[in-house]
A and B are shown apart, each in its own frame.
Chain A
Amino acid sequence: MNSYEAELFKDKKLGFFIFLAVEAVMFATLFANYFIFTPADRGPHPSELFEVKTVVLTSFFLLSSSGTLLYAEKALEAKKSMGMLIGLSVTFLFALVFLGLEINEFYEYVSQGYGLSASVFLGAFYVLVGLHAAHVTFGAVWMILLFIHYKSSMPKSLFFEKFKIFSYYWHFVDFIWVFIIIIVYLPYLI
């Protein structure tokens, strides 16, 4: 990356950080919404619904995907393309496993009759955790695009930039998940 590109990258980085701040405001409002409506005085109590096993598993995969992405990032910086590809692939797989577990969790609730309209608690749960899952899905598709970009004739410095931006996104999505554990699940598991 030459100095001209570095300057343009700083533009993009600043803009993306502001975008993430906007996302943080959005999630904060939804957390407040969840906090207001949970537990609801009608319908299931969250402690009957949430299971420690699911939360531990989903958290394990999503949070360690941040670590594997960090590994890929370091490999990219050290110009070890094999390490980068492996790191990114594992991150992608972990994201898929996370999504599978999440879909399974939602499916179980819905099949017990606890859908979006069962109570305000469940509504607030789905609009928050569902939006987060949508972010993970978006990130997973983004990773596929990164693989294609890597194979394409794109200048390496541009690929580096795109990879960096993705990694900010992914770490942010993980960061939100930590808050989901603390605010959504934890108070009703212990």
Chain B
Amino acid sequence: MNLSFLGISKYVPSDVIAAWIFTLIAGLLILIYIIKKRKLPVIWDYLTTTNHRKVGLMYILFGFIFFARAGIDALLIRSQLAVPNNDFWVMQYEKYNEVFTTHGTIMIFFAAMPMLLGLMNVAVPLQIGARDLAYPFLNALGFWMFFSGAVFFNIAFFLDSAPAVGWTGYAPYSTSEFTPGPATDYYVFGVQISGIGTVMTALNLIVTIIRHRAPGMKLTRMPLFSWAALITSTLILVAFTVLGVALYLLMFDRQYGTAFFSGDQGDPVLWQHLFWIFGHPEVYILALPAFGIFSDIITTFSEKRIFGYPAMVVSLALIGFLGYMVWAHHMFTVGLGPIANTFFAVTTMAIAIPTGIKIFNWLFTMRGGRLSFTTPMLFALGFIPSFVMGGVTGVMLSVSAANFQFHDTHFVVAHFHYVIISSTILGIFAGIYYWYPKITGYMLNEKLGKLHFWLFLIGFHMTFLPMHITGMQGMPRRIFTFRIEDGVNATNMISTIGAFLMGIAIMVFLWNLVKTHTTGHKVNADPWNGRTLEWTVASPSPEETFNPMPVITESDAFWYAKKSGKPLKTTNELIASPIAKPSILPALMAFSLFIVATGITYTWNWLAIGGGVMFFTIIIIRTFVDERAEVYGKGENDE
């Protein structure tokens, strides 16, 4: 559509116009709601909060909003691929590239990651008896960095310059020679800023878990979700740092004239190595927390101790370790040679062993237990067979000779959606249903929850099971159409129907949220008859928790205390706890990085410098308003 404004005529695609109209109307409605209900103080409260539950809630909320956006992208992709030679709306050629790029990037970085980090933020401190994360200020900063990176990335589409380089941003296509203009810069800076935020939050979680466990809560007594959070966080530290360096180098290539990834001296394969040294551990960063969630849920609803606790912990660590030795299995067709390919094929197959151990331990945990089929438990039960199917295709893909056939077909697409949706997305939903009382004080409606589960699970298998066949028939990924004679008409149609079924499932979930908050009732501290410490604090969890501090003598101590009819032992000993004080500085710091990114993207150097000055000024202010100053210097011997 051609729009003219002040004499300037510009072609604007109709999907961008539709998005503007939708966003403006939605934004206006939300604004009216906020003003009418006088919610501004609430917004200010959340803008300045450093409390782990509130930060976690914001992580989940905004992660879910971006999840919805990337989900709409997925539906657009499936609509275009519904029938052969299709011309759906504008989703062809470059637009199609943009849609699959934003779908992948948002789903990984701005939906799955924040929702998992949000659940960790909410649950980990409560599970281990910490009064907050070790650095509340840094926690808020980590969240706002994610937020500004994600908003920066999402703005690109509204300015009709969405990146189209794939979520992997392969060089040399992502260098300025082939994708000039701001589009790819939105990818570079959006992911960079939120990635730094993710590293901060991971560091915070590690220190919290190592330093702030309740007395007697040994590492060997810790719930498995907290274990998963610990191992995931250590993976994040290395993976996201390497990604950060890769993006840093790409930024220099795009903006300042170096040529690391292109030209006669540069090496595009270096980008692939750096990206996948991040990218493969990232898969486990997404999966391990989900494993932790399922472990906790399965023990709770089987009313049994986890089967093989040490094996569960060791296999988590082993998966994390092996996760760093398999990255080149994404690059079998690059031509690294048979020795390298064999090595990476073998390490990839080896990952099936610890994963298999976990699957059997979950099954043995349920064996002989008193099962109750609540919504979180259903998600956990749906996860096990679905994830095994993804694992099987994973072993198929690890055979490097066969991989030459599967590479870049829909078979690969089917495989990674099977593993990521069944672990991460089902895990996130399970976690949301499970911890919803702890986050809001309400219990989500079980009937609608079960409907959500079944629609989503059926839709998910309908979408991706036929896609294996589509891929085997040779349909390449990232191509916007196919011909009638390719023999993939029926399977593509079924996939599209399945995708819309998943969309309906999400609508059911939204309806559940609305219904719960309008007609639902508040629940007590322990609605699920839980086993771990988070169920000892009130729902929703207050800002002051664990006073007096419980003393832990075994794993699942709360459960055994309930069984013996005696309350948990507590101590009134003074325990050094994190100092959480509200502050607007984290949000401002993240915003200043947003300004820097805008400045560099459009080479408005004055803006970039202004943003940088703002950023460092805030850091300097921060050193003078340190919340520790109020607590320090009041001790027995002040020196």
Contact = CB atoms under 8 A, between A and B. Distances in A.
Whether chains A and B associate is yes
Interface in A34-54: 36-37, 40-42
Nearest to B211: A11
Contacts, number: 129
B331 interface: no
Contacts of A26: 241, 244-245
A58 B231 CA distance: 40
Contact of B237 (A25, A40, A119): A25
B199 interface: yes
Nearest to B233: A18
B252 interface: yes
B32 interface: no
Contacts of A162: 623
Contacts of B199: 22
Nearest to B575: A7
Interface residues of B, number: 52
Given A19-B203, A25-B238, A26-B241, A157 B211 contact: no
B249 A145 contact: no
B628 interface: yes
A157 B624 contact: no
A154 B574 CA distance: 24
Nearest to A23: B241
B624 A29 contact: no
A116 B256 contact: yes
B260 A33 contact: yes
Nearest to B270: A36
A37 B241 contact: no
Contacts of B258: 116-117, 120, 123-124, 126-127
Interface in B326-367: none
Interface stretch (B66-74, B307-315, B631-639): B631-639
Contacts of A5: 631-632, 635
A19 B237 CA distance: 9
Interface in B227-283: 237-238, 241-242, 244-246, 248-249, 252, 256-260, 264-267, 270, 274
B210 interface: yes
B460 to A, nearest CB: 36
B633 A158 contact: yes
A190 interface: no
Contacts of B636: 2
B440 to A, nearest CB: 29
B490 interface: no
A40 B638 contact: no
Contacts of A18: 203, 206-207, 237
B556 to A, nearest CB: 27
B245 A155 contact: no
Contacts of A2: 635-638
B237 A22 contact: yes
A29 B245 contact: yes
Given A15-B135, A152-B624, A155-B633, A29 B639 contact: no
Interface string B602-639: 00000000000000100010011010110111111111
A162 to B, nearest CB: 8
Contacts of A127: 248-249, 252, 258
A163 B118 CA distance: 33
Contacts of A56: none
A13 B48 CA distance: 25
Given A8-B576, A15-B204, A37-B265, A154 B629 contact: yes
Nearest to B628: A158
A4 B576 contact: yes
A42 B265 contact: yes
Given A15-B207, A41-B265, A155-B638, A4 B633 contact: no
Interface in B265-304: 265-267, 270, 274
Contacts of B628: 8, 158, 161
Contacts of A123: 252, 258-260
A158 B632 contact: yes
B333 to A, nearest CB: 22
B241 A120 contact: no
Given A29-B245, A117-B257, A158-B626, A22 B207 contact: no
Contacts of B634: 155
Contacts of B138: 15
Contacts of B264: 42
B270 A116 contact: no
A126 B639 CA distance: 44
B617 to A, nearest CB: 11
The residue among B134, B199, B207, B578 with the most chain A CB atoms within 10 A of its own CB is B207
Interface in A117-147: 117, 119-120, 123-124, 126-127, 141, 145
8 contacts: A4-B631, A5-B635, A11-B576, A29-B241, A29-B246, A33-B245, A123-B258, A145-B620
Interface of B: 134-135, 138, 199, 203-204, 206-207, 210-212, 237-238, 241-242, 244-246, 248-249, 252, 256-260, 264-267, 270, 274, 574, 576, 578-579, 616, 620, 623-624, 626, 628-629, 631-639
8 nearest interchain CB pairs? A2-B635, A155-B633, A117-B257, A123-B258, A7-B576, A155-B632, A29-B245, A120-B265
